[in-house]
Structure 1
Amino acid sequence: MGVRLFWLAAAGAAGAAVGGAAAGAHPLIATTGLLVAGGVAAMLVLVRPALSVWVGVLVPAIELVLPSSTWHLAGFVLLLVGAVAAWPAASGLARRWATLFAVTAVWITFAGLVISPRGIGTTQLVIGIDYALLLAMVTALVTVKFDFIRLALAGWGVAASWLAITTPDLIADRSQTVIGENANGLGSLCALGLVAAASALAASRNRLLHWGWAVGVVCASGIVATGSRGALVAAVAGAGAVLLQPHLRRGGMRSVVIVGSSLLITYAAMDAGLRWFTAYVGRSSASFENVMGREEALRFAILTGWNNPLAGVGLGRLSVVPYYNGDQGLGLRAHNTFAGIFAESGVVALLLVLVVIGRALTRARLDPGGLLGLVVAFVVLGFTLEWWGTARVGVLAMFVMAAAGTSRRQIEQPEHAATEPSPTPAGG
């Protein structure tokens, strides 16, 4: 009863504070209201640290509706409070996983602002990367329900699909941006929404009447509206991983044959499928020349990282680094998450990120009804989209990696359950 009264009182105080801040014409009233609301939010996070995960995921969406740097700062603070509050109750496995994210954030910040030269938008990139890794750290310390993760990504997918469908000339004008994303960025969110719907359907007992069908159709329409080939490949790979997970988990010769045959068929049909998709959405066949330009950018990024292995050339500097000893830069980013990290942040940062992804893939493969499809989709997107440090896809990527790496089934093993308290669940 006491806990319920606390929640009611806190919610009432927060609502009154926000209302006062919104209605107050005097700056002092608004500032006081926001401080009270922030204090109440911090108290709620201290009582239930998993709430900070909700905040961390919602902040990028809130910023689109109410643009303000205050939201990002509030998200940072509440995530830090959530990490401190969740640490004592977390299992040893969760603490080690969270420490990996913390080490990655410290190294990226140190290399990006101290060791390597400052580049274009370096501060914004560091903030975006650190925010994503801090969200991942808190996600690792608490138990996040997979339904919450699927709904979050499905929501992004539906929103991105609606924006793509209602935006004219998005396919013709590839430089056009909506909510700060070009056609490939919107397509990536649509692909993630589709894979989230497929994952939810696979985990559901009642598949006939399930929201995943509607979300899948909407997100597939969004991919077509963006004309993004990378999004199509990620959606196919993620949905395929969802379908093949029972065989990936079970092992044995039969599973090896099924998985291997599926991969070979997909690889053989990829070129023809992408050309058909390009014609279907109305893109010119000359758009494949853009792929050649990206391959050149990829080669240059790898060479640049090879020549600057420790800390790279600096966040945001790849596009301005002299192109093969010329006077001007290539003018392009790597368009590849892993090559971009290698070129701009060095081999240490790349290895840390690969460890995170490798661990997430390994644990997701063994977890029935887990997040393997979403992890695979993010990995595939990493080869076609540079999501590292981005405000939406990058944040969602680290969120999913953290949850997949410390799923509830993996954390709550007998040896941990006997000696350590269970983490606080998030998302319900």
Structure 2
Amino acid sequence: MDFSNGRDFRLKYSIGYAIDPKYWDSAKKRVKNVAVVRNSNEINDLMRDLESETFDYVSDCDSKQIAFTRNDLKEHLKRFTNKSSEIIEEQEPTTFLEFIESHINRKEKELPVSKGRSISATVSTYKQTQNHLIQFEKESGYKLDFNTIDEEFYSEFLDYMNNKTYGKDDDKYYSINTIGKQIKNLIGFMNAALYAELHTNFKFKKFKVSKETTTAVFLTMDELITLYKTELDKTHYILARDVFLIGCEIGQRISDYHDLASQEIQINDGVNYIKIKQEKTGKEVLCRITPVIQQIMDDRYNGELPPKIAPQKLNDYIKKVAQKAKINRKIKTEQTIGGKKITKYTEKYKLIMSHTARRTFCTLKYKSGMDVHHIMELSGHTTTKEFLKYIRAPKDDIIAQITSTKEFESTSIPIE
């Protein structure tokens, strides 16, 4: 810190950190916000605090007409910071893998962690990509560095991932979407390093993130009624069924409906609503307590919302419940695994998961002719394009839905 108080008073005070000069903004007198300086915010906050304390100290001395020396001010700042003589240097990562490690550490501090998780989902996928890259380097002998991330690497890494196996018996292959996620993260790492001026390699810009549409199902109204009426003898199956059906009625993400007991019930104009703060968006939504939700609450939970169930347990149990309900129509599924296109026919109950509830809500409301924007207001989707992609609505269905509305008919030229 460089402080001046008149022509004859100047103090240069070391705050205990050392960085490469290229990461210093001389105009703002602050550390640049770059990935390689993991504690830039900490350093800048300390500098602001020291500047404020310095001005307060000088103003206090002036108001009391107390003379002070450079050493007096220096000792005051030492007491303020409880500073030791140790200098802490931020080591700049020198290799690609070192940068990934520092980038992940930075994101681990910055990104919010969802309820019930130890790290954010984004950081978790970053670590998966990091592990794949480390194993790739060890097994292939390909030296990973900023300047070796090129077309040859891209080809070899894709081949490695397509042939890599995992699982208890080491007999499962990664899907094209999983591999695409690794490439997406890799591109993100290289972009962050480029921004930090650690390399000038633009070859990674040509990498393609492969992705294919997965098979996602929704339940029909008849299937929902069958599910609701199915006799169950295990309490954990009953809980899973109840929570899932409520999810189908309110259209929220699994992160927002698996712990309903923690949510507030609000009454507006004599109507009961579940007040939910969406974990992903932070937006508060009111979900109406429909007759079937109220019936579930009254029959089994003394008028309260059902207790919490872990998302993975819900995924496991709802398949069992749907199997008992004989929701077993064969669904055609196609997926690229290990570089090979695999087509098979799967019983529908095996494809049902916690996320199916939200898709069911959106699809049934859409097919009923409900205005898309009204559905989005409840489901939390932000764009029409995102919503229509989510429900996998065929083009013909979209046109039919639009042209069958009263608004469309009322704006067409009438004939006598």
**Normalised by the shorter chain, which TM-score bucket?**
under 0.3
TM-score (norm 1): 0.23
**Which structure is higher in helix share?**
1
What's the TM-score once normalised by structure 2's chain length? 0.23
Please say which structure displays the higher CA radius of gyration: 2
Higher RCO, 1 vs 2 (CA within 8 Å, ≥6 residues apart) = 1
